[in-house]
Amino acid sequence: MSHNATDRPAAAPSSSADVARLYARFAAVEAEGVSPTYEELASRVSEDDTICDRIAELPPSKRQPNLVFAASRHLGAPVSDYRQWRKWLLERWALVLPVILERATQTNEAARCATLLPILAAIEGPIALLEVGSSAGFCLYPDRYSYRYNTSSGSTRLDPKNGPSKVVLECELRQAAAPTRLPQIVWRAGIDRNPLDATDPDTRSWLESLVWPEHHDRRERIAQAAAVLAQEPPLLVTADLNEALSEAATAAPPEARLVVFHSAVLAYLPAEQRARFRHTVHDLDCTWISNEAPAVFPDITAELPEGTGTEGRFLLAVDGIPTALTSPHGRSYAAIPTRS
């Protein structure tokens, strides 16, 4: 299917090739075994010159498979059949384009708290939580959720002091013991360029569109986590994380241990901005928890034991020390053996 060159700017060949590689990798590494629907869509996109050309017209930061797929699903696209989805997308590109440009992949997955808890539970005394890239703030409430940790020796359940939560986070633990307590969090705040209000119906609908098609439990969890936030709305600062981090940290109560954390956030910053963030966080008296793709901090990833497979997983590091490999959606936590 050809397009008239006067309708839109032609995509550079290298851009289209970049899109093809991006979607092929997404299919093979991120979606394989996790979302058959997205695996099929992304794989077919990578082989479709017309669709790659169309996506290549977007700014590089807007070409992400999850953003393009979510935007189309948000408007009702059929995603179970590639030919139908392709036809729908090409016919309605003018409607999808503003959604892609205006929205962002602010996936707010409360289940990531299950991979943060082994670290938080080991911190004695009160904790002040500060999340950068907080989206709606679901990950600021690890003490309000219930957990079920599964290990080779059995299952462990943890509930808040005031009783079981409707939000139950299940996580597979490897080479690690299950936490035995929930942290004592006395202050919580988040920084985001565009913080989301999870009580707003349109915002919640977008968050649900970001959830991959087969992940019904994650979609249900959004409403459940939003109910937790509604009882105690989070303090969310609208700002660039590098501009606001130091000042936001000063608002934490001095008697609490400050914990600065982030998940799947710094990958969206250029290398110099990541370096700036790292310098700032090192100057704070805090515990720093980074839960990011392994490529975000190559020097930290280089400290992993030789032969450690990282494909499709996040590297969780504490104060720059590799600590665990985690599922991007919080479903697993594999501790990294400490070097002797």
pLDDT tens figures, 27-63: 998 899 889 999 999 999 999 999 999 999 999 989 9
How many CB atoms lie under 10 A from the CB of residue 93?
14
pLDDT at residue 217 greater than cutoff 90: no
pLDDT at residue 90 greater than cutoff 70: yes
9: confidence class by pLDDT, cuts 50, 70, 90 = very low
CA 34 to each of CA 118, 138, 300: distance values in angstroms, whole numbers, following the listed order: 24, 22, 26
User: Per the structure block, which two tokens stand in for 65?
Assistant: 């498979």
pLDDT at residue 3 greater than cutoff 80: no
List, for residues 329-339, the tens digit of each pLDDT value.
899 999 998 76
Place of tokens 């503003």: 98
pTM for this predicted structure: 0.80
- What integer pLDDT is reported at residue 84 of this predicted model? 97
Which residues partner with 257 through β-bridges?
127
- What integer pLDDT is reported at residue 14 of this predicted model? 64
Question: What string of H, E and C letters represents the secondary structure of the chain?
Answer: CCCCCCCCCCCCHHHHHHHHHHHHHHHHHHHCCCCHHHHHHHHHHHCCHHHHHHHHCCCHHHCCHHHHHHHHHHCCCCCCCHHHHHHHHHHCHHHHHHHHHHCCCCCCCHHHHHHHHHHHCCCCCEEEEEEECCCCCHHHCCCCCEEEEEECCEEEEECCCCCCCCCEEEEEEECCCCCCCCCEEEEEEEEECCCCCCCCHHHHHHHHHHCCCCCHHHHHHHHHHHHHHHHCCCEEEECCHHHHHHHHHHCCCCCCEEEEEEECCHHHCCHHHHHHHHHHHHHCCCEEEEEECCCCCHHHHCCCCCCCCCCCCEEEEECCEEEEEECCCCCEEEECCCCC
Question: Domain ranges in the chain?
Answer: 13-102, 110-335
- What integer pLDDT is reported at residue 220 of this predicted model? 86
Mean pLDDT (the chain) is 91
- What integer pLDDT is reported at residue 93 of this predicted model? 97
List, for residues 124-163, the tens digit of each pLDDT value.
999 999 999 998 899 999 999 999 999 988 999 999 999 9
- As to burial, measured by CB atoms within 10 angstroms (0-12 exposed, 13-18 middle, 19+ buried), residue 191 is buried
